[in-house]
Amino acid sequence: MLQAVRRLSTSATMKQTVQCAELRFPVPWGEVAARAWGPQEGRPVLCLHGWADNAGSFNRLAPLLPAEWRVVCVDFPGHGRSSHRPPGEFYSFTTYLADLCWVTRALQWKRFSIIGHSMGGNVGGLFSAVFPELVDSLVILDSLGFLPTAQEEMAGIVRKGVEELVQFEAERERGRREKVYSYDSALKRLQAANPSLSEESVAVLLERGSTAVEGGVVFNRDYRINLTNIVRITLEQSLDMQARIQARVLLVMAEEGILRLYRQRPQQAEMLQQLIKGYGDKLSEVSVVEVPGDHHVHLNSPETVAPLITAFLNSGTPVTPPSAKL
């Protein structure tokens, strides 16, 4: 069962003041950390961050959502304040599904909405396909809900991931040490790795993404999240999974986000079009919109997407903003 709330705080916006709380959920190897916004009895909404980010990714968006919603933003294992997986284990989208089961069962949620950014959107898409009865609405932010891999690349990817993990664990046994950064150096490193982030957004992510130690700070994330993900699915498998989703879907694409990246690569551009077409062909209630901004638009400019998300989740009809191009 859910452990006690450890810290309460408030976040002020022009619209409202929303109380948030730090939560901890027990899992077999440790705990999954989360930040929750709104009343416990409110409409359940689960927020899933992108690769190498953390629950702070939603710190600026959550207060702009309806105050009566219960918005729980998790740190995926190996990210933020959540425990790292045991030595020798991989990180993959499919193992994150089990983490979400532990979290939502601890919350006693029988049916809920998901808002997922980037990797979180892909995990949300998979979760909605595998557990369709649990998800009523799915909002995907600058992602496609699935990350297809060409069949001919599979063997090489699996080998690469296995070799990387074996090498990493060998280095850990020899006493691999965590690098200590000054706070300013950590900010600069995070900014360099994520050029789409504003300076304010970098500071927001670093709050949960680092821990103060003697001489500076260390990054909280498990280095193994950087290793090659060995669990992949093809475009055909992705389309099959997509067809199993029963939730209403809102796909929000940023003009300067993955759309721009995919359009520059013919093979990925084809996958993009097939997945977007698949949502329209196979699901009954789908909105696909394009908004100004970059990959982290929900964090850099939350006011751009908050009204779309609110309108979509509060209505039974598709949402198309004036700026929509898709």
Chain segment 152-210, per-residue pLDDT in tens: 999 999 999 999 999 999 988 887 778 999 999 999 999 999 888 999 999 999 999 99
The answer to the question of residue 111 being in a domain is yes
The pLDDT of residue 263: 75
The tokens 């998979």 sit on which residue?
Answer: 126
Whole-number Å distance between alpha carbons of 223 and 116: 22
pLDDT confidence of residue 146: 95
Total structural domains within the chain: 1
pLDDT at residue number 8: 32
Specify if 246 maps to a domain. yes
For the entire predicted model, the pTM comes to: 0.90
Q: What is the mean pLDDT of the chain?
A: 89
Residues annotated as part of the active site: 118
In a domain, 326, yes or no: no
Mean pLDDT check: name the lowest of 4-8, 144-148, 289-293, 313-317: 4-8
Q: Provide the domain limits for residue 21.
A: 7-146+233-314
Residue 32 parent element (H or E): strand 30-37
| Distances from the Cα of 106 to the Cα of 45, 102, 234, angstroms | 14, 6, 33
Backbone phi and psi for residue 117, each to the nearest 5 degrees, phi listed first? -105, 130
Q: How far apart are CA 306 and CA 269, in angstroms?
A: 27
Identify whether 212 is part of a domain. no
Give the distance between the most distant pair of CA atoms in the chain: 57
Asked if residue 67 belongs to a domain, the reply is: yes
**What's the CATH number where 277 sits?**
3.40.50.1820
- Could you tell me if residue 297 is inside a domain? yes
What are residue 4's DSSP bridge partners? Answer: none
**Is 27 among the domain residues?**
yes
Two structure tokens written together for 148: 């297809």
pLDDT of residue 266: 76
Residues recorded for the chain = 326
> For residue 323, is pLDDT > 70?
no
Residues 158-184, buried b or exposed e (16+ Cβ, 10 A)?
Answer: eeebeebbeebeeeeeeeeeeeebeee
Cα torsion angle, 234, 292, 287, 308, sign:
positive
**Contact indicator for 82, 31 with CB cutoff of 8 Å:** yes
Sheet holding 17-27, edge to edge: 7-12, 17-27, 30-37, 69-74, 43-48, 112-117, 135-141, 248-256, 286-294
pLDDT digits (tens, 9 = 90+) for 101-127: 999 999 999 999 999 999 999 999 999
What are the pLDDT digits (tens) for 49-88?
Answer: 999 999 999 999 999 999 999 999 999 999 999 999 999 9
- Within-domain flag for 179: no
